[in-house]
């Protein structure tokens, strides 16, 4: 007997582990195939390409001029001129722009992580809903079988004169209602399975594998873990981005410099006394330029815009933190409530089943209290469904709190 118990425990543990592994496989498939997640990941990679764009010097300028009427110089007529110049922004401007792009890329990455966490929660919660609906279908079918047995029992009692024909009609009414409920559950399950397959981006609908009994997820995190929420991190990077943008705006309000060279192409002169100097090209160095930001309003406006944006995202972050705390407390309450309901309905189900057995035994003897039998059967159905609903709610609460904390 002891060995049999050990084998049963090991078997149950294996079923639970296999079921959890199956869900992990679904999460992996969703991460690989979900189009929205792919879109956010592509957006993150696109934002990374902004960093080298803004951190590079402006393109150099090359100019060419041809003199229709050559200008006479000491060594001959100047026919054409080549020019090259490079603009240099104020010291540190490029690094500041790179910092802005880097923080924006980090915000995009947190947006990707947020999308992944939300996807994982959607997959888990939908999986748990499918489990509950399937259990409801199984329990309803089993109760229909039991009601069919009650109907036969009632017919026997009617034939022996120990019961009224009303008893059989009552069973028929219960069967009709339960059949309608079963059809609703089956339609609901089909709809939720479509949603589940869409989350995984399955082109062909596939049957979702669920356990006989849902495993028990426990809460292992606290309110402090809300700081790991990806939306909070994203808003933090937005604040840093605009702080860097403010620095960039200040630096852009400083002068920019350019340096370059001009190369003059000289033709041959008619002066025979020039010797080797005749027609020699001239390289003129240096050419220095300064861009003076005289119109200060736009730079002042850029700095003010950055300051207001910093305030905007700081307040948004604070508001989001308050919302997360409220959601955490609500789902913590739901988690505790589900724990209590699991214990309650386990007890109620045992008592209802015992009561039903006693009533059936009495009815087999005297044919009385058939209505009470049907009422107790409804309680058995109700408690069985409520027990699995509580299991589903508990695991869903854990999944949502994990999502809130960035897992």
Please give, one letter per residue, the 3-state secondary structure of 179-206: HHHHHHHHHHHHHHHHHHHHHCCCCCCC
- Selected residue with higher pLDDT from 370 and 147: 147
8 has pLDDT over 60: no
pLDDT in tens, 137-177: 999 999 999 999 888 888 887 877 776 788 889 889 999 99
The share of the chain scoring above pLDDT 90, in percent, equals 60
The residue behind tokens 């904390």 is: 405
Report pLDDT for 275.
Answer: 53
6: confidence class by pLDDT, cuts 50, 70, 90: very low
- Selected residue with higher pLDDT from 65 and 198: 198
How far apart, in whole angstroms, are the C-alpha atoms of residue 101 and residue 136? 52
186 has pLDDT over 70: yes
Report pLDDT for 379.
Answer: 93
The domain segmentation of the chain, as residue ranges, is 2-33+89-254+293-404, 55-88+255-292
Report pLDDT for 12.
Answer: 39
Structural contact between residues 166 and 151, judged by C-beta atoms closer than 8 angstroms: no
pLDDT in tens, 215-242: 999 988 888 999 999 999 999 999 999 9
Considering only the C-alpha atoms of the chain, give the largest distance between any 2 of them, rounded to a whole number of Å. 147
Please give, one letter per residue, the 3-state secondary structure of the chain: CHHHHHHHHHHHHHHHHHHHHHHHHHHHHHHHHCHHHHHHHHHHHHHHCHHHHHCCCCCCEEEEEEEEEEEEECCEEEEEEEEEEEEECCCCHHHHHHHHHHHHHHHHHHHHHHHHHHHHHHHHHHHHHHHHHHHHHHHHHHHHHHHHHHHHHHHHHHHCCCCCHHHHHHHHHHHHHHHHHHHHHHHHHHHHHHHHHHHCCCCCCCCCCCCCCCCCCCCCCCHHHHHHCHHHHHHHHHHHHHHHHHHHHHHHCCCEEEEEEEEEEECCCCCHHHHHHCCCCEEEEEEEEEECCCCCHHHHHHHHHHHHHHHHHHHHHHHHHHHHHHHHHHHHHHHHHHHHHHHHHHHHHHHHHHHHHHHHHHHHHHCCCHHHHHHHHHHHHHHHHHHHHHHHHHHHHHHHHHHHCCC
- Selected residue with higher pLDDT from 74 and 146: 146
25 has pLDDT over 90: yes
2-33+89-254+293-404 homologous superfamily: Outer membrane efflux proteins (OEP) (1.20.1600.10)
**Stated pTM of the model:** 0.84
Structural contact between residues 165 and 158, judged by C-beta atoms closer than 8 angstroms: yes
pLDDT in tens, 260-270: 888 777 666 66
Report pLDDT for 366.
Answer: 75
């Amino acid at each position: 007997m002891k060995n049999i118990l050990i084998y049963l425990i090991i078997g149950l543990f294996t079923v639970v582990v296999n079921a959890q592994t199956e869900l992990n496989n679904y999460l992996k498939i969703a991460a690989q195939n979900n189009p929205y997640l792919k879109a956010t990941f592509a957006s993150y990679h696109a934002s990374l390409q902004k960093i080298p764009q803004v951190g590079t010097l402006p393109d150099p300028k090359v100019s060419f001029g041809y003199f229709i009427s050559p200008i006479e110089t000491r060594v001959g007529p100047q026919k054409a001129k080549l020019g090259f110049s490079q603009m240099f922004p104020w010291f540190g401007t490029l690094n500041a722009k790179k910092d802005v792009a880097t923080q924006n890329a980090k915000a995009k990455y947190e947006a990707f992580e947020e999308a992944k966490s939300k996807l994982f929660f959607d997959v888990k919660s939908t999986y748990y809903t499918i489990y509950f609906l399937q259990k409801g279908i199984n329990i309803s079918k089993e109760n229909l079988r039991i009601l069919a047995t009650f109907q036969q029992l009632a017919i026997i009692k009617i034939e022996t004169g120990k019961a009224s024909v009303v008893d059989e009609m009552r069973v028929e009414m219960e069967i009709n209602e339960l059949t309608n409920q079963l059809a609703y559950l089956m339609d609901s399950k089909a709809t939720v399975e479509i949603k589940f397959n869409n989350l995984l981006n399955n082109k062909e609908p596939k049957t979702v594998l669920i356990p006989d009994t849902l495993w028990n997820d426990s809460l292992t995190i606290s309110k402090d873990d809300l700081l790991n929420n990806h939306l909070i991190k994203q808003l933090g990077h937005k604040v840093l981005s605009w702080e860097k943008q403010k620095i960039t705006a200040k630096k852009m309000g400083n002068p920019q410099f350019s340096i370059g060279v001009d190369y003059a192409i000289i033709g041959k002169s008619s002066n025979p006394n020039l010797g080797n100097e005749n027609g020699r090209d001239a390289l003129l160095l240096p050419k220095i330029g300064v861009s003076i930001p005289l119109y200060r309003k736009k730079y002042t406006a850029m700095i003010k815009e950055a300051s207001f944006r910093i305030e905007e995202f700081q307040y948004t972050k604070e508001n989001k933190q308050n919302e997360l705390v409220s959601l955490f407390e609500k789902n913590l309450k739901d988690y505790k409530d589900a724990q209590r309901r699991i214990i309650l309905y386990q007890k109620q189900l045992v008592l209802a089943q015992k009561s039903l057995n006693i009533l059936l035994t009495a009815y087999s003897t005297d044919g009385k209290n058939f209505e009470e039998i049907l009422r107790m059967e409804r309680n058995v159905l109700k408690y069985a469904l409520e027990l699995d609903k509580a299991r589903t709610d508990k695991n869903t609460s854990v999944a949502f709190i994990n999502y809130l904390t960035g897992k």
